[in-house]
Amino acid sequence: MSNERPLDAPCDCDDASQTPNSRAPADVARRRFLQSAAAAAALGAAPHLRAQNAPGAQTPAPAPAPAQPVRLDINGREYVLHIEPRVTLLDALRDYAGLTGTKKGCDRGQCGACTVLVEGRRINSCLTLAVMHEGERITTVEGLAGAAALSPVQRAFIERDAFQCGFCTPGQLCSATACLSEFRTGAASAATPDVRTRPAQLSDAEIRERMSGNLCRCGAYVNIVAAVRDAHAASA
C-alpha cells in the first residue's frame, strides 16, 4: 500500500504511531526545513554563537585521532610506525621511518619530488595517507639499487649528468623506473598516436609526456630525457 498522503490531508507529523521511516518524504523534508529555520532563529538570537560563526572567527580545531601502530613494507623491510591516521605517506617515510631520500617539494601534488612506488606504480606520497598502504609493497629511492649495483636508471642518470641540485632526482628516478615498466607493459600515454595500440617505440615525446609529472627547477630536462632513453635501451 502506498504511504503517500494527499496534499490536502491534515498533517500527521506529530503522530507518535508513525516511525521516522514510515513518514512520507514530503513530511520528512518539511520537518527538516522547520528544524533548520528554528536553528537559524536561535543563532540570530544568540550573539555569542553569531560571533563564533562570523567570517574570520577562529573555530576550535577538532582533536586529532590518537596515534596507532601502522605496519608498512618499505624497500622489503617491515616498519611499525606509531602515527596518527592523518599522517601522509611522505611524512611517514621522512619523519617516522627516517627515509629522507624522498623529498617534499610542494606537498600538494604538483611537483613530483615525493614520487615513490607502491606495488610498482608511481604515486605522489604527499597526496596519500600512510595508513592506506598497510600490506602494500612500497619502494623509495633508497630501495631502487640492488645489493651490489645501482639500477639501470640510476646508472643512466649519473652517466648523463641528469641533475644539478639533485632535489628532484629521487622522484625522477622512481618515476623513470615506473615509466619504463609502464611502457614495457604496453600502457599508452597522451603522446601515443593511437592509444588502442601498443606504442611502437619510446620516443623522446613519449618520455617527456610520461615524465611530465616530475618538475625540475634546475631545468635538467634534456639530460633527464636522455638518461631515460639510455636506461630503456640498456634494459631492452
Binding of ligand FES by 116 (CB under 6 A): no
Q: In what order do the strands lie in the sheet with 137-139?
A: 77-83, 68-74, 137-139, 115-118, 121-124
Backbone torsions φ then ψ of 68, nearest 5 degrees: -140, 155
Region of 39-47, 57-65, 203-211, 216-224 interacting with ligand FES (CB under 6 A): 216-224
Binding of ligand FES by 126 (CB under 6 A): yes
Shortest distance, CB of residue 152 to ligand FES, whole angstroms? 20
Binding of ligand FES by 220 (CB under 6 A): yes
**Hey, what amino acid is at 221?**
Y
Interacting residue with ligand FES among 42, 67, 217, 234 (CB under 6 A): 217
Shortest distance, CB of residue 220 to ligand FES, whole angstroms? 5
Region of 13-21, 32-40, 61-69, 102-110 interacting with ligand FES (CB under 6 A): 102-110
Backbone torsions φ then ψ of 124, nearest 5 degrees: -85, 110
Binding characters for ligand FES, 147-166, by CB under 6 A (x = yes): ----------------xxxx
From 70, 182, 186, select the one nearest 122 (Cα to Cα).
182
Total chain residues near ligand FES (CB under 6 A): 23
Binding of ligand FES by 111 (CB under 6 A): yes
Helices (H), 66-201: 89-91, 152-159, 169-184
Our CB check for ligand FES shows the closer of 85 and 167 to be 167
Dihedral-angle region of residue 155 (phi above 0 means left; psi in -120 to 50 means alpha; beta otherwise): alpha
